[in-house]
Amino acid sequence: MIDAEGRHETILKIEALHKTFGPVVAVDGVTLEIRRNEFFALLGPSGCGKTTLLRMLAGFETPSGGAIWLSGQDIAPLPPEKRPLNLMFQSYALFPHMTVRQNLSYGLEMERLPKSEVRKRVDETLATTDLTALADRKPDQLSGGQKQRVALARALVKRPKVLLLDEPLGALDKKLREKMQLELKRLQHEAGITFVIVTHDQEEALVMADRMAILKDGKLLQVGTPEEIYEAPQDRFVANFIGIMNFIAGDIDRDGTFSTDGYSFALPAKRPPGAATIAVRPEVIRLSKGADGISGTISAIAYHGLDRVLHVATKVSDAPVQVRVTAEEGRHFAPGQPVGLLVDPAKCHVF
């Protein structure tokens, strides 16, 4: 939500949050603001502290240091059930002996809401999650995707200010996962609830998140929109973790010209001279059939729907350089063929 001055309203403020388990530093001084109604993803490799961070927000883990503010209130003294946020577990944790409707009603009945209010809220939530037709089934009569929707509906029906989701799509196969990614985003939008989701899947975060945070070894490396992080990664780790990135070794001279394998171009920003590695995305490299550019040989061609990704072996990169082309362009190339690689200087990163 944006106020009259165009500022985003912060719903969740995390300040210098720290968590150690004996000698292990799981979360190392994370400071972060999450905005009202945004879809926020916590992303990072296994063991980077994502789940621990989420569990501290939910109140299942006590911070070793730092603070968490929800709508301006320090929530440290509140037990999990008193926090206006709800954690949806990876395992769904549905009650097997209850129908879908009873699974949804249970939490509201515990809050002693009037029967008519429970019915109204459950009906509304069943409708938004497309579960009305399945309301009288039990969990073992549902598919994986349907169970996932019930778990989500059960969390939404309580109308938390923030919904925390730990790898919510982890148990689903690829196709269903992709469908549910869009579904989750639609539901978040319709429900008007802030979602904080933990995932180790960068593609999933790129598809769903309004903004995302990249964590490594308990530390926050970068926060931004998917575009910002994809187009302006702040270091080599982030560049490599999000999307495909090629790393090409060479040298920068005093004038700021980068040279590699007899090919050179002026870098957009001045850099100190010396050995350097540039990072370039597969879609900003062009191929030439002539002698210009970095010389290489096509080692493989991978089909990605409408696109082709050509793998090009060179002397200046450890891994084959990946170049994305259209199917039409791809027709002109074959494995074993020599090519030149031309880099768009404006689109390369130097770390």
Q: For residues 32 and 193, give the distance between their C-alpha atoms in angstroms, rounded to a whole number.
A: 18
3-state secondary structure of 345: helix
Are 129 and 159 spatial neighbours (Cβ–Cβ below 8 Å)? no
Are 272 and 308 spatial neighbours (Cβ–Cβ below 8 Å)? no
Nearest alpha-carbon partner for 197 in 296, 67, 86: 86
For ligand ATP, the closer CB: 171 or 249: 171
For ligand ATP, the closer CB: 62 or 116: 62
Are 72 and 128 spatial neighbours (Cβ–Cβ below 8 Å)? no
Q: For residues 227 and 232, give the distance between their C-alpha atoms in angstroms, rounded to a whole number.
A: 8
Q: How far is the CB of 221 from ligand ATP (least distance, A)?
A: 13
Q: How far is the CB of 25 from ligand ATP (least distance, A)?
A: 8
For ligand ATP, the closer CB: 44 or 63: 44
Strand bridging mode 73-74 / 65-70: antiparallel
Are 217 and 24 spatial neighbours (Cβ–Cβ below 8 Å)? no
Q: How far is the CB of 242 from ligand ATP (least distance, A)?
A: 16
Token output for 97:
């002996």
Token output for 62:
């006590």
Place of tokens 């395992």: 91
For ligand ATP, the closer CB: 167 or 183: 167
Q: How far is the CB of 52 from ligand ATP (least distance, A)?
A: 3
Q: How far is the CB of 181 from ligand ATP (least distance, A)?
A: 18
Q: Using CB under 6 A, list all residues that contact ligand ATP.
A: 21, 24, 26, 44, 46-52, 200
- Helices 115-128 and 174-191 pack at an angle, to 10 degrees, of 130
For ligand ATP, the closer CB: 47 or 268: 47
Q: How far is the CB of 196 from ligand ATP (least distance, A)?
A: 13
Q: For residues 148 and 169, give the distance between their C-alpha atoms in angstroms, rounded to a whole number.
A: 8
Rg value, the chain, Cα: 24
For ligand ATP, the closer CB: 65 or 335: 65
* C-alpha distances in Å from residue 225, one per residue of 39, 207, 229: 10, 11, 6
For ligand ATP, the closer CB: 11 or 42: 42
Q: How far is the CB of 163 from ligand ATP (least distance, A)?
A: 18
For ligand ATP, the closer CB: 167 or 261: 167
Q: How far is the CB of 60 from ligand ATP (least distance, A)?
A: 10
